[in-house]
């Protein structure tokens, strides 16, 4: 799990690499699936409690030497998909809606200064 620091005045994407295996194939492309992010203040909830509110994210891909990486992203900051409070830390959760699975994974912590 990673920690990301961001000033409250900054508008930027937070990004998390997503890998999926389907029928033994580790190169599954999840970009047709809906990706969502959840943010919970660390002071108000335990790290292992998933959020009840989800915000739509988006996908980006990066191909290096023929290998494609799939990255889920969410725009965070003033005017973004998620507008955090100053001096607040958040647990960051990621959810991918596939069929039949809908994995929910805690992916990191966001520290807003």
pTM across the whole model: 0.91
Set out the domains of the chain in order of their start, with CATH numbers: 2-112 (2.60.40)
Cβ 15 vs Cβ 71: under 8 Å = yes
Cβ 71 vs Cβ 61: under 8 Å = yes
Per DSSP bridges, beta strands 67-76 and 89-97 are unpaired
Per-residue pLDDT of the chain (113 residues; tens, 9 = 90+): 789 999 999 999 999 999 988 888 888 899 999 999 999 999 887 778 888 899 999 999 999 898 899 999 999 999 999 999 999 999 999 999 998 899 999 999 999 99
Q: Give the pLDDT of residue 27.
A: 80
């Amino acid at each position: 799990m990673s920690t990301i620091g961001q000033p409250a005045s900054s508008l930027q994407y937070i990004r998390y690499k997503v890998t999926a295996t389907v029928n033994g194939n580790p190169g599954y492309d999840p970009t047709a699936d809906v990706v969502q992010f959840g943010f919970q203040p660390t002071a108000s909830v335990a790290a292992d409690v998933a959020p009840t509110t989800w915000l739509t994210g988006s996908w980006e891909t990066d191909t290096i030497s023929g290998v494609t990486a799939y990255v889920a992203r969410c725009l965070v900051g003033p005017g973004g998909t998620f507008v955090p409070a100053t001096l607040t830390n958040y647990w960051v959760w990621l959810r991918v809606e596939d069929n039949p699975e809908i994995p929910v994974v805690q992916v990191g912590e966001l520290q807003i200064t």
